[in-house]
Every structure is written in structure tokens, then in C-alpha cells.
A and B are shown apart, each in its own frame.
Chain A
Amino acid sequence: MEFDALLLSRLQFAFVVAFHILFPAFTIGLAAFLAVCEGLWLKTGQDVFKRLYLHWVKIFALAFAMGVVSGVVMSYQFGTNWSVFADKTGSVMGPLLGYEVLTAFFLEATFLGVMLFGWNRVGKTLHFVATCVVAVGTSLSAFWILAANSWMQTPAGFALDPETGTFYATDWLAVIFNPSFPSRYVHMMLAAFITTAAVVLAAGAWQMLRGRSSQPTRWQTRMAVGTLAVLMPLQIWAGHWSGDVAHEHQPAKIAVVEGWCETKDVQGTVLIAWPADNECGHNGIEIPNTSPILFSSAHGELKGMDAFAEDERPPFWIVFWSFRFMVGAGLVLLGLAFWGVWKWWRGTIDTPGLFHWLAVPSGSLGFIAVLTGWITAEVGRQPWTVYGHLTTADSVAPVSAGQVATSLLVFMVVYAIVFTAGSIYMARIATRGFEDDGTAPPRVHPRAPGSPLGAVDEPAKVPGDIVAIK
């Protein structure tokens, strides 16, 4: 493997996008959680929901800001490192990403400001509307990103300009609602909700273990457990749906994900695999004859890795194992959720114990599943950027390996400093618990478009100037 500009550019894109996705994945779910809390507060009038809202909105602001900061980098990556891809796909990808930028910018410019700084300035209903619009808006941002990415996976509704070799849209609806978009969008949205629920559960469990249990802590723990118990089964179904679609359109990806060596009518499920000196390159532990159940909609023979030349299928190990990490993380969360529901039913969920000790590190499992899931999807798309039409090797910018090595190093150092500081700060708020009960965000002034960083300040010392909504 040679560290040329192509490989380095791939590593760099993987690095910056992996960092970036953590924050949107978390804020999409958190925005929905905040909307639910505020809605429950308005409906029931119970103080506990207001306290939950005011606590988590600070973390939301910081995570949103981190997403914006890492997002700026993304909007330049396509040009600096993937300029040929940008030139060729601009007339199709451009509007999808353009709408994402407009949506995000619009949100930052308007409703986010009201949500973060308008607690004392606007009426209850308007504030709730603002929270809901932000929640819908973050989902809409994801909509455009998933549409663009899914079009790269399963391109549709386009033609090629014979003169320039560039793609252009012939049917925008077919471009946006391309074959893999619905399943992948649902899968990602559920992943975002689950990631957030796991974090909320971990924070609640941590506070209970530290003996800082309070009414909001107990509520957030129950809400998170309930959410996970409902969504995890749904997510398994959505993942299965996504796999079915991939099998239809990207059989090479599925062959590698499943570790199928030979093309057969009936395949098994390979649980784990290790390198071996055979034609396939690996040996594994396999449950035989599972494909009629798992791929019930597939007809005829199921293609194995032998159906594709080595340079026409994705690299095996990374795709195979990242998929298993994703599934493993999901199954642990599923188990944890059912255990939590059991404890809730038995009335022991507030008693610190093994469940809580396990729930704390499991707060990272959503993020792990999101990252490994995206690795499966994106590395599994190789060797293509636009599946079947434009290879990754033909997409890269004409820049030197030295430049890309430099930038990769710079991004690693900068991200290490900045995001470590930001994450520590977020964790500090989340674990501090509810000592800052009932205070509104301390900002006296509203702020300009996109100023989430300002909303996470220390709680105001003088509750006197902060008038809660009447």
C-alpha cells in the first residue's frame, strides 16, 4: 500500500467526516429530545421537564457549535481533495449540498437563536415552536446529506454530458429519492435518536452512581431506557431493510459484509473470520443456510466474493469487521434497554448497581455504531465514488502527496486540541447533574446567526435577573 495523494486524501476525508458526523448524529437526537421535554413541560406543567430542557440545551449548543466548526472544513474538502469529483458531479450534488447549507444557515440564523437565547424574551408557545423547527431542521439537514450520499451509492435520475463527461440531473425526484435513500435515511435517523438516548442514559446512570440522583435524573434515565427499548428493535429492522436494498444494488458490498466466499444459492452467516491461506483469503465460523431467512426477498443465486475481481470489490477486512462492530454495539444497547425496562418494571432502576456501571461506558456505543456503520457503507462503496460510474481513483484532486500529508497532520493536531477541549467541557456539564436547577440560559442578549457557543456559559449567579417564563 503506497501512501500516495489518493490514499492520503481518503484517510483525510475519513478523518474529518468521522469527526464531523459524531456531532450531527448527537444533535439530531438531542433536538428531538429537547422538543419532547419542552412539549411535556407545556402539557403537564411539571417542573422536571423544564429542568431537563435547560440542562440539555447547554450541551446541545456546544455540540451544535462543534458540528458547525467541523462542517466548515467539510465544505472545502470536495474542492481541495476531490476536485475532479466536484467538477463531474457538481450539477447533481451541488443543489443537494447547497440546500443543506441553506437549511443549516437558515436555522442558525433564526430559530436556533430563539431557542438558545429567547427563553426569557419570547412567549412559551413561540419558544416551543422554535425548538420544534430546530428539531425538524436538523433532520432536514440530514435529509439532504443522506440524499447526496445515497445518490453516490445508488445513482439515479441522471445522464452524462458526452462533451465534458459531467453528470447532470434528468429527474430531480429520482435523484433525491434514489433507491437506497429511504432505507438509509430511516436507518441514520434512528441511529441519531439511539445515540442520544444512550448518552442521556449514561449521564443519568453516572449521576445515580455518584449519589446525585434527583427527579430529572430519574426521568431522563427512564425516558432513555424507554426510547432505546422501542427504537432498537426498529433499528434492527431498518438495518435489515438497508441491507436488502444494498444486496439488490451493490452485491459486491454485501458479499464482503457477509464474508461469502463463493457464489451459491443458499448462503450462511459468517460470525467471525480470520486470515487464511485459501482462495478466499479467510476462514470463519459460520451458521449455515441462513440466507433464506435473512435475505428472503433475494431470488436466485447469491453472489460471493468470487463473483468480483479483487479490484472491483471493496477491501474485505475493514468492511467485514466494522459491520460486526456496528451490529455488536447495537445488540449490547438492545440488551441494556430490555434490562432497563425490566428494572423499571421491578422498581429497581433507581438503585445504583451493575446496570448503571454498564450503562455509563455504553454511552459511547451509539457513536461507535454510527462510525462503524458509516465505514461499512462508505468503504463498502469502493472502488467507486459514484457507484458504477466514477471511480475513487478518478475523483481525486491533482494535488501532491506532500500537501495532503501536511493537511492531514494539521487537521489531526487541530482537531485533537479543539475537540478534546470541547468534549471535556460537554462531559463536565453532563456529569455535573442538576445542581444548576431551574436557571435559564444566562445570556442577556440574543446573538447573531449561528452563535451556539455562547449559550453554554456557567449558570448565572443571580437568579434575580432571570425571569422564568410565566
Chain B
Amino acid sequence: MDLPLIWAILIAVAVMLYVLLDGMDLGVGMLSFFAKDDEERNMMSATIEPVWDGNETWLILGGGGLFAAFPLAYAVIMPGVYLPVLVMLAALIFRGVAFEFRHKAVRQPTRHFWNGAFYGGSLVAAFSQGIILGAFITGFETDGRNFAGGAFDWLSPFSLLTGVSVTIGYILLGACWLILKTEGELQAKAKRFGLIALVAVSICFALVSLATLSIDPRVTERWGISMTAFDFAKILPLSPVPLAGIALTLWLASDLMRIGTHDSGPDWRPYLLAIGIFLSGYVGLAISLFPYLVPFEFTLWQAAARDNALGLMLVGAAIMLPLILLYTAYVYSLFWGKVKPGDGYHA
């Protein structure tokens, strides 16, 4: 059994689940900035209150899993993104407790403070996650088994671009979630934000894809695309991934435009399509970087812990993860349906 590969897939899935699920939470959090009053803000937050902290737990599994399964990758990446990780953690703490504290605050200034912590924390967390992604793709300066770069190596035009892209992508997920969970005025608002975000996301994802191709010759080589030449033998088998992304984007655009009109599609479809767009990007990225876990320095096999450690953990993961997934699915099914004014656990 190729244990490192199994663990790479497990962690990739955990991170992906985090991005899709908590990305939607962070998107809704950011959109709450545009709420016209506290009632609308409460409605927005009520759509994610039952699920957000379960969603966030995938991040612990991603981080803890990386340490446990790929200590070398963890040891190189984390010092390399020291400050963005710090900012992300602080933002997530504020965002997390704001769910509760903004309802507890009696006085107006404290209430404003926790409202700000809610959307500000969401925005900062999303942006720093994008920065971390960009820094991860561009790779890290290493010396032996250590990170050897500087404190601000993560900062580059590319990482700023991924920061913006992830932020807008999360807003798209959040807007599509709100379309699914709300109706009337708030849904119409979500539709407008969704359309704007979709246009921006298309541009951003295209830019990120092009930039990624030029980051390392190995990526260019894999896709068979460079500034001067196409290698159809390579690009053709891989082309379904970007093509699917484009098709899903167009489908989502047409779906979003028809929301609220007489021939609108089902309300759940935009969210599913947005997930599809994210997946195509995620798979595309995996194709570009495989098998590197610290891009272009260490492969997943080089970075892996010993087989006896990976095997021991796999036993636990094989028992626990299916149960967790089942329970998560059960909770989502419990909360199926539209949120009404006054819903949420503070009513």
C-alpha cells in the first residue's frame, strides 16, 4: 500500500472540504458587511450558524494531518508563511466568537465591535488563506530540510492575486449559499453580489491559471502549454478540467441571471455549480503540482512520515472519518430549507 499517497489524498480532501464549506461561511461573513440592518445581518448569519464550527474543524484536521503525515512539508511551509498564518488564526478566532458575542453585546459600541469582527474577521481570514495558497504554489527557499527564506517571502504579485481570487471566490460561494437559503429581497441582493463575484472570479481564476503555468517549467511541461507552443498530446487528456470550469462558469452565469424570474432554475443549483468551479480549479492545481508537496522541492514521498506512523494513523482515520462525514451530512440535511426572519439560535 502506498501510504504516503493515501495520506496525501486524505489531506487534500480535508483541505478541499474546508475550502468549500468554510469558504462559504467566510463568504457569507464578508457579505454581512452589506446588510442593511441587524435583522438582515442576523438572517445571513443564521444560514451558517448551525454548521460553521464543524466546517472550521476541517482546518485543524488539515493542519494536524500535515504535521502527522508529512512533518517535513509542515516544517518547511509553516515558517515560510508565518505571518499570514498568524493573521489567519487571529481573524478566525474573532470571526468564531463573533457568532455568539454579537448577540450577547448589549451596548451599541460593543455590538458594532463584534459585527465588525464578524465581517472583518471573515475578510482577513479569506485573504490570508489566499496569500498562503499563493506562497505555497510559488514554493519556498530551503536549505537541507529547513525553510531558509525571509519573513516576507510569501509576499509577491502572484500571492496578492491568489489572495484576491480566494476572497472573491469565497464571496461567490457565500452568495450562492444565500440564494439557496433565503428568499425575497435578501435573495435578490445575493444574486447581484453573486453575478459581480462571478465575473471577477472568472477573470481572477484565468489570471491565476496563466500565472501558474509560468511559475515553473515543470508545470508548463505537464500541461504542454507555453507562450510559444501547444503540445496537444499533453493538453488534450487534461483539457476536460479547464473546459469543465469554463462550462460551469457559463452555466452559473445563466442560472444567476434567471434567479427571481419566472424561468429560474432550482435554488440549490448555483451553489452546486460554484462548488464545481472551485473543484475544477482545485483539480487543475493538483495536476500542476503533483507529486510535489513542497512545490518543486520535496515530493509527497520525500516529505512523508515513516510508514509505521502513517499506518497507525490510518486505522484511526478509517474509523473516524466516515462517521464524521455521515454526521456532517445528517446535520446539513436537518437544516435543509429556507431561513426565515427570526430563525437562528438567538430567536
Contact = CB atoms under 8 A, between A and B. Distances in A.
Contact of A83 (B55, B74, B317, B327): B74
A87 B346 CA distance: 45
A110 B64 contact: no
Given A69-B93, A90-B74, A448-B52, A406 B60 contact: no
Contact of A447 (B57, B64, B93, B331): B331
Contacts of B324: 105-106, 109-110, 449
Interface in B306-343: 306, 308-309, 312-313, 316-317, 320, 323-324, 327-328, 331-332, 334-335
Contacts of A99: 313, 316
A398 B60 contact: no
A90 B331 contact: no
A453 B99 contact: yes
Given A105-B57, A106-B323, A448-B55, A168 B309 contact: yes
Nearest to A428: B104
A451 B53 contact: yes
Contacts of A168: 306, 308-309
B242 interface: no
Interface size class of B (residues with CB under 8 A): 35 or more
A62 B319 CA distance: 28
B5 interface: no
B100 A397 contact: no
A362 to B, nearest CB: 29
B260 interface: no
B93 A418 contact: yes
Nearest to A85: B75
Given A94-B69, A102-B320, A80 B90 contact: no
Contact of A90 (B83, B305, B316): B305
A448 B57 CA distance: 11
B71 A402 contact: no
Interface stretch (B145-153, B191-199, B231-239): B145-153
Given A94-B309, A451-B50, A406 B86 contact: yes
Q: Is chain B's binding surface mostly helix, strand, loop or mixed?
A: helix
A398 B146 contact: yes
A425 B104 contact: yes
B309 A448 contact: no
A454 B89 contact: no
Contacts of A105: 57, 60-61, 320, 324
B328 A449 contact: yes
A252 interface: no
B60 A445 contact: no
B243 interface: no
B188 interface: no
A164 B144 CA distance: 10
Given A105-B320, A105-B324, A450-B53, A79 B60 contact: no
Given A403-B82, A421-B97, A445-B334, A95 B309 contact: yes
Given A80-B85, A94-B69, A418-B97, A454 B345 contact: yes
Contact of A102 (B56, B145, B316): B316
Given A86-B71, A447-B345, 5 more contacts: A90-B70, A110-B324, A421-B97, A451-B52, A457-B345
Interface of B: 49-57, 59-61, 63-72, 74-79, 82-83, 85-87, 89-90, 92-94, 96-97, 99-101, 104, 145-148, 150-151, 305-306, 308-309, 312-313, 316-317, 320, 323-324, 327-328, 331-332, 334-335, 345-346
Q: Which 6 A-B pairs rank lowest in CB-CB distance, beginning with the nearest?
A: A90-B71, A79-B78, A449-B54, A448-B54, A94-B68, A98-B68
